[in-house]
Amino acid sequence: MTNIYVGNLIWRCTDEDLRTLFEEFGTVAKAEIVCERETGRSRGFGFVTMPNSEEAQAAIQELNGAEFGGRNLTVNEAKVKEQRQSRPRQNHNVGYRGAPRY
């Protein structure tokens, strides 16, 4: 399985548009536009998962820099999200005891 990052998408691009674009190169297991939680609006990028690595590499080669909806796409193999190191929480209210009570 190859996970592909697709950036610089037009705002009205749908999951189905993304799937159709990549299906020209082979089988697409998943195509998903990333949206803002609060508004549901596209964040302008998405991810495509292709089970065949040769087909995925062909799609990356052909679509990176290609024009789609008037914009040049950024297409590359997605990087694995690194785990954030947990750090101790800082208490910014040290010494604050709340509003005075009368």
7-60 pLDDT tens trace: 999 999 999 999 999 999 999 999 999 999 999 899 999 999 999 999 999 999
Q: Is 46 within a domain?
A: yes
CA distance 79 to 49: 13
Q: Is 24 within a domain?
A: yes
pLDDT surpasses 70 at 98: no
State the CB neighbour count (10 A cutoff) for residue 90: 7
Three-state DSSP class for 45? strand
**pLDDT value of position 79:** 86
Domain count of the chain? 1
Greater model confidence, 74 or 93? 74
Domain residues for the domain of 41 are 2-77
Q: Is 15 within a domain?
A: yes
